[in-house]
A and B are shown apart, each in its own frame.
Chain A
Amino acid sequence: MHNLTPTSALGGVTDTIGTITITENAGVSLASVAARMSGEKKTTQVLKKLLGGVPGPGRSQQHDPEAGFWMGPDQWMIGAPMATHELLADQLKNLLGDAASVTDQTGAWVVFDVTGAAMRDLMELLCAVPIRTMVAGDTQRTVIHHLGCFVIRRNADDHVRILGPRASAGSLHHALVAAAHSVA
């Protein structure tokens, strides 16, 4: 067992501004899955078994412990709790074999959970997703503060999860907090 301690992008920071709570969720392990040619069928079978369904464009499958969302044609991002799935990419590769290419994406992203009554007002200041008509599971690729991000409308009406580039976690966090003050 190694003796190195992982650090999240911002140390798991939580901010509460008015009704809004912005939390860095450092407990998510991520891996991308891209079906290979002729591997599409097996990949969707594995994902369906794993997630309970295969998310299509603009959608995520919110499932426990593994969940996932559509990223592109025959391409998904799979997430799971870090505590049990730190080696998620290896675990997926074992299931998928040569049917899909799997890449560890855990360290590539910072994950924010945004909750609160003013969540929709906040999101309207951040990005062009149609937040008021999004339902649970809707997922969109968008741009926040010049950064390519994914926005996932979670099950709770006042909850979105934002995945942004980890190296710019500080800038993205600043944008979220600044917008939260605007709508607080």
Chain B
Amino acid sequence: MTQSNRLDGGQINRDASLKFTFDGKTYHGHDGDTLASALMANGVRLMGRSFKYHRPRGPLTAGSEEPNALVELRTGGRQEPNTRATTAELYDGLTARSQNKLGSLNFDLLAINDRLSNFLTAGFYYKTFMWPAAFWEKLYEPIIRHAAGLGSLSKQDDPDLYDKGFLHCDLLIIGAGPAGLAAAQTAGRSGAQVILADEDFRMGGRLNSETFAIGDQSGGDWATATVAELATMPNVRLMPRTTVIGSFDHGIFPAVERVSDHVAVPAAGKPRQILWRIYAKQSLLCAGATERPIGFDNNDRPGIMLASAMRSYANRWAVTADRRVAIFTNNDDGHRTAADLHAKGVKIAAVVDIRTDAPTSIDFEVLAGAQVTNTKGRLGLTFAEVQLADGSARTLDVGALGMSGGWNPNVHMTCHQRGRPTWQPDIAAFGPGETLPDGMSIAGSATGAFSTAAALTTGSKAAAAALRNLGFKPKATRQPRTEDMPTNVTPFWYVEGCSRAWLDQQNDVTVKDVKLAHQEGFRSVEHLKRYTTLGMATDQGKTSNMGGLAIMAELAGKAIPEVGTTIFRPPYTPTSMGVLAGRSVGKHFHPTRLTPTHTWAVEQGAVFVEVGNWMRAQWFPQTGETTWRESVDREVLATRNSVGVCDVTTLGKVDVQGADAAIFLNKIYCNGFAKLAVGKVRYGLMLREDGIAMDDGTAARLAEDHFVVTTTTANALPVYRHMEFVRQCLFPDMDVQLISTTEAWAQYAVAGPNSRKLLEKIVDQDMSNEAFPFMACANITVCGGLRARLFRISFSGELAYEIAVPSIYGDALIRKIMEAGAEFDVTPYGTEALGVMRIEKGHAAGNELNGTTSAQNLGMGRMVSKIKDSIGSTLSEREGLNRENDLRQVGIKPVNPADPVPAGGHLMNAVGPVDAAHDQGYATSAAFSPNLGHMIALGFLKDGANRIGERMRLVSPLTDVDTEVEITSAHFIDPEGERLRA
């Protein structure tokens, strides 16, 4: 296929021919092309169908502001919808498809919508699909979504990697056009740490699209030379293909670097994109400006584009949309496009200038005081109709038409922290406001100074000023001579009398739609935007917002700045979900925490469960066991009959030291700790300030000034944070030092009647009941001298110990315990058996300390000491927490042993209604007790302490359970506690 619309020159490498496909058809382009430029070189103007009316569309722009030429790139898991052909860098093997069509791009069956446009005006959804209401979700919306949409998802996993990263600099320069390059040059030479980021793959901005000189070089050559100089500076980081997408607090800028989007498949291990978080002491916005289209009937046909884009295609990519071109302009810039195209051999049919005093040319005809009123061409422009200054009509035989309605400074980044743009009458556009993000300054076209000379000068000066703020002494850089023409714009937004003149081509919003919205009472700009959808979707109205505002102003009889403007939000351009997720996907979504016995547990075939980030052994299946219940029942019975071992390392451990350690714990816990003897452990309950139970655990006093506090696994971090808050903020005068030692110690529960016999084989000290009674603790040694800690505490209700060694010996110790316990058939047990045994014993856990329960509810009301002050103790005395019939923890068992007693079920009186108003309480934890042979549960029951033995109903309408139960003590096993004191 010949590249029929390829011109001479350009910044493409003609030696590198790249093959690509669009809608299945093969084309060729060159290295340096975008998908849009390569398609146009091949004579393709039609690249998509519009959102609502399915009108044929081609590129409006040559950059990231593109509303029309959206395509699906690549296939399979790498398929990416809504990608702008104008920024997609061409590579060999690129596969692209048009989107939003039924049938082919040339014969889109949904183009019928265009015929129905009178019915599909702004707000038609809201007016039309009102009845019946149920149809909206199931019928109307799916149909509309199918018909009016953009690209499609492959619904396959993205196989590529995305990284996140962090950069620091003195000065971040956003945009590498003439202003940005001059700024980087000045800043780089000063020695400051500089980052220069640009969304394009070639730095230089408009300089690559223009023909005028800077000094004795072309603008493009000057840009190339300047980039080369910057590349030699170790303090300057050049970041092409990098879009700064926002301006956040404290000089933080997110930026997406497209590392591998320009190759077919990223190299092994390399990311497709990186989301950088840039910490900049100063920032300089050199984002340039965006040209505005003009509204006239049928101004959206393929071949009609911004005049500046036309110039970019010709000068940078050596491409024209057609060999016969006209320009429609309200300013001098449009004439530049005609001159450049003429110089490339493109026939300029005419420059249509609305100004009667338009400049003239000897190279082409200028129709001063004229307007383009309409166009023709089914799939692309064929004729433009012009109304001349004398009122007569003329038809131009053209395949491409450039529109130049003036320029809008790209002030988006100045608005991300609620800054509002201000109106600049000289350029008839909004420029940056007075309130800018901290440390930000602006240079070049983004300020509204549109000439190249102004860009170079303001860029260099702004960089120098920013660096002086940081104490640098930048040297002023004398800028070379270059173009310094005034803009001479005459505001002109749309041709009088037009109706189907497109303002927002991405959302198919016309001049008529804006007028309709106004007619229907939508006066606020924000309401206009939402009613018409003007300025929404992937381009965020970069080419359309101003036109809508201008029409609103005219209809309201106000000046444009009086109507106001919407401000901009991040991201500046569409950002993939993949790069926001980074590496935190799949099994790496969050880090895991492994216990010291993990390797050993894997060897035992343990089934693991996630508990927070921890991976805990849930049970250890043995050969022949077919259900988890078999394994768990065996582990429970083995422990209660002989001895079991369980890794309890995950419980939080906080080392509390200092002269005031005991007094500190007296504040933290509602029960007393000051008088706890050295060598003793005590169960403690922590309350929140509001008197509700926060967490429970134990504190072991290893020395007068040294405690080890344990927390529940889930609350390890919140409790430590709470303790630090109390230490630093509430009692800063106490001599207390805290540090977490959760991971420093491997800790195992050894439980069961043979636990002492087992540990006697390991521990280097007297283990007798007299020497080491219930609730004793000590620093000891094991296995002939290894430092260890021993606690005689029991969660299971059995004779039990917890033994701790430094984590590095955790693996060795579990193997030693299993070896020593072989003669007792020691059984490892997991969290399920742990749960069963603590329910059998009536010990509260997270299900009971659920953020709504008080010490009273838990049956521990008397633990809240009245003789000392502790956090939460005063508010625990509130009347509302101390009513006669408050919830109390009870045990629940089925009358018929075969019946279930599910957690979450609610307790109801045996006789009476079953509804929320008659709710008596609820079951919190449930398990099958292999010792009792039926299910048991813990729960809370109104006045529960006085209702032991009562028959009730436990109902769970969600699971269709209605069981007759008996209320019991919560202590199903060994209520007298004889076993644990044995």
Please provide the chain B residues from 257 to 271 with a CB less than 8 Å away from any CB of chain A in the complex: 268-271
Please provide the chain A residues from 94 to 137 with a CB less than 8 Å away from any CB of chain B in the complex: 98, 101, 103-109, 124-125, 127-130, 132-133
- B594 pairs with A105, CB closer than 8 A: no
- Given contacts A1-B784, A165-B743, whether A178 and B658 have CB atoms under 8 Å apart is no
Q: Tell me if A13 counts as interface (CB < 8 A to partner B).
A: no
A77 CB, min distance to chain B CBs, angstroms: 10
- A7 pairs with B812, CB closer than 8 A: yes
Q: Tell me if B794 counts as interface (CB < 8 A to partner A).
A: no
**0 or 1 for each of A1-22: is its CB under 8 Å from B? (1 = yes):** 1111111100000000000000
| Chain-B contact segment, one of A44-52, A58-66, A168-176 | A168-176
- A108 pairs with B271, CB closer than 8 A: no
- B811 pairs with A7, CB closer than 8 A: yes
The residue on A at minimum CB distance from B807 is A107
User: Of B163, B659, B744, B746, which one neighbours A105 at CB under 8 angstroms?
Assistant: B744
- A2 pairs with B745, CB closer than 8 A: no
| Chain-A contact segment, one of B16-24, B493-501, B583-591, B953-961 | B583-591
- A171 pairs with B592, CB closer than 8 A: yes
| Chain-A contact segment, one of B165-173, B515-523, B929-937 | B165-173
- Given contacts A125-B163, A125-B165, A128-B166, whether A1 and B269 have CB atoms under 8 Å apart is no
- A108 pairs with B785, CB closer than 8 A: no
Q: Tell me if B428 counts as interface (CB < 8 A to partner A).
A: no
- B658 pairs with A36, CB closer than 8 A: yes
The residue on A at minimum CB distance from B259 is A182
B26 CB, min distance to chain A CBs, angstroms: 34
User: Of B705, B739, B742, B810, which one neighbours A32 at CB under 8 angstroms?
Assistant: B739
**0 or 1 for each of B238-281: is its CB under 8 Å from A? (1 = yes):** 00000000000000000000000000000011110010010100
CA–CA, A104 and B806, complex, Å: 9
Q: Tell me if B531 counts as interface (CB < 8 A to partner A).
A: no
- A147 pairs with B782, CB closer than 8 A: no
Q: Tell me if B404 counts as interface (CB < 8 A to partner A).
A: no
CA–CA, A178 and B588, complex, Å: 11
- B657 pairs with A101, CB closer than 8 A: yes
The residue on A at minimum CB distance from B734 is A37
User: Of A36, A75, A124, A125, which one neighbours B735 at CB under 8 angstroms?
Assistant: A36
A78 CB, min distance to chain B CBs, angstroms: 13
Q: Tell me if A41 counts as interface (CB < 8 A to partner B).
A: no
- A103 pairs with B165, CB closer than 8 A: no
CA–CA, A129 and B270, complex, Å: 22
A10 CB, min distance to chain B CBs, angstroms: 10
- A107 pairs with B164, CB closer than 8 A: no
B227 CB, min distance to chain A CBs, angstroms: 21
For B584, list chain A residues within 8 Å (CB): 145-146
- A2 pairs with B781, CB closer than 8 A: yes
B730 CB, min distance to chain A CBs, angstroms: 16
- A2 pairs with B658, CB closer than 8 A: no
User: Of B166, B270, B784, which one neighbours A2 at CB under 8 angstroms?
Assistant: B784
- B806 pairs with A165, CB closer than 8 A: no
Q: Tell me if B981 counts as interface (CB < 8 A to partner A).
A: no
**0 or 1 for each of A24-68: is its CB under 8 Å from B? (1 = yes):** 000000001010111000000000000000000000000000000
- Of residues A2, A98, A128, which shows the largest number of chain B Cβ atoms within 10 Å of its Cβ? A2
- B812 pairs with A167, CB closer than 8 A: no
The residue on A at minimum CB distance from B655 is A103
- B165 pairs with A133, CB closer than 8 A: no
- B165 pairs with A106, CB closer than 8 A: no
CA–CA, A169 and B594, complex, Å: 8
- A108 pairs with B741, CB closer than 8 A: yes
- A124 pairs with B593, CB closer than 8 A: no
B329 CB, min distance to chain A CBs, angstroms: 46
- A184 pairs with B269, CB closer than 8 A: yes
Q: Tell me if A85 counts as interface (CB < 8 A to partner B).
A: no
For B364, list chain A residues within 8 Å (CB): none
- Of residues A109, A132, A147, A175, which shows the largest number of chain B Cβ atoms within 10 Å of its Cβ? A132
User: Of A36, A107, A124, A128, which one neighbours B808 at CB under 8 angstroms?
Assistant: A107
- Of residues B164, B741, B744, B787, which shows the largest number of chain A Cβ atoms within 10 Å of its Cβ? B744
Q: Tell me if A141 counts as interface (CB < 8 A to partner B).
A: no
Q: Tell me if B161 counts as interface (CB < 8 A to partner A).
A: yes
- A147 pairs with B783, CB closer than 8 A: no
Q: Tell me if B537 counts as interface (CB < 8 A to partner A).
A: no
CA–CA, A179 and B813, complex, Å: 35
- B812 pairs with A5, CB closer than 8 A: yes
B763 CB, min distance to chain A CBs, angstroms: 12
User: Of B593, B742, B816, which one neighbours A4 at CB under 8 angstroms?
Assistant: B816
CA–CA, A107 and B812, complex, Å: 14
CA–CA, A34 and B739, complex, Å: 9
User: Of B163, B705, B740, B811, which one neighbours A108 at CB under 8 angstroms?
Assistant: B740
- Given contacts A107-B746, A168-B591, whether A133 and B168 have CB atoms under 8 Å apart is yes
CA–CA, A174 and B587, complex, Å: 11
**0 or 1 for each of B923-947: is its CB under 8 Å from A? (1 = yes):** 0000000000000000000000000
Chain A contact residues (Cβ within 8 angstroms of B): what range?
35 or more
B588 CB, min distance to chain A CBs, angstroms: 7
Q: Tell me if B874 counts as interface (CB < 8 A to partner A).
A: no
The residue on A at minimum CB distance from B167 is A124
- B812 pairs with A166, CB closer than 8 A: no
- B784 pairs with A3, CB closer than 8 A: yes
CA–CA, A139 and B548, complex, Å: 54
The residue on A at minimum CB distance from B786 is A2
User: Of A8, A37, A133, A171, which one neighbours B591 at CB under 8 angstroms?
Assistant: A171
Q: Tell me if B873 counts as interface (CB < 8 A to partner A).
A: no
For B785, list chain A residues within 8 Å (CB): 1-2
For B705, list chain A residues within 8 Å (CB): 98, 101
- B812 pairs with A6, CB closer than 8 A: yes
A138 CB, min distance to chain B CBs, angstroms: 13
A103 CB, min distance to chain B CBs, angstroms: 5
Q: Tell me if B533 counts as interface (CB < 8 A to partner A).
A: no
For A101, list chain B residues within 8 Å (CB): 655, 657-658, 705-706, 737
- A181 pairs with B269, CB closer than 8 A: yes
Please provide the chain B residues from 792 to 842 with a CB less than 8 Å away from any CB of chain A in the complex: 805-813, 816
CA–CA, A32 and B654, complex, Å: 13
Q: Tell me if B595 counts as interface (CB < 8 A to partner A).
A: yes
Q: Tell me if B614 counts as interface (CB < 8 A to partner A).
A: yes
**0 or 1 for each of B721-750: is its CB under 8 Å from A? (1 = yes):** 000000000000001010111111110000
**0 or 1 for each of A149-168: is its CB under 8 Å from B? (1 = yes):** 00000000000000001111
For B168, list chain A residues within 8 Å (CB): 130, 132-133
- A167 pairs with B737, CB closer than 8 A: no
For A1, list chain B residues within 8 Å (CB): 784-785
User: Of A98, A107, A178, which one neighbours B744 at CB under 8 angstroms?
Assistant: A107
- Of residues A4, A107, A168, A181, which shows the largest number of chain B Cβ atoms within 10 Å of its Cβ? A4
B85 CB, min distance to chain A CBs, angstroms: 29
Q: Tell me if B896 counts as interface (CB < 8 A to partner A).
A: no
The residue on B at minimum CB distance from A144 is B591
CA–CA, A132 and B235, complex, Å: 10
Q: Tell me if B532 counts as interface (CB < 8 A to partner A).
A: no
Q: Tell me if B106 counts as interface (CB < 8 A to partner A).
A: no
- A182 pairs with B737, CB closer than 8 A: no
The residue on A at minimum CB distance from B234 is A132
B729 CB, min distance to chain A CBs, angstroms: 14
CA–CA, A103 and B702, complex, Å: 13
B59 CB, min distance to chain A CBs, angstroms: 34
- A146 pairs with B811, CB closer than 8 A: no
CA–CA, A75 and B736, complex, Å: 12
Q: Tell me if B193 counts as interface (CB < 8 A to partner A).
A: yes
**6 closest residue pairs by CB, A with B:** A107-B807, A181-B269, A171-B591, A101-B657, A167-B593, A108-B744
A-B residue pairs in contact (CB < 8 Å), sample of 6: A3-B784, A7-B809, A104-B744, A128-B166, A146-B591, A166-B807
Partner-B contacts on A (CB < 8 A): 1-8, 32, 34, 36-38, 75, 87, 98, 101, 103-109, 124-125, 127-130, 132-133, 145-147, 165-172, 174-175, 178-179, 181-182, 184
Instruction: Knowing that A5-B809, A98-B705 touch, tell me 8 more A-B residue pairs with CB under 8 angstroms.
Output: A101-B737, A103-B739, A103-B744, A130-B168, A146-B590, A167-B743, A169-B594, A181-B270
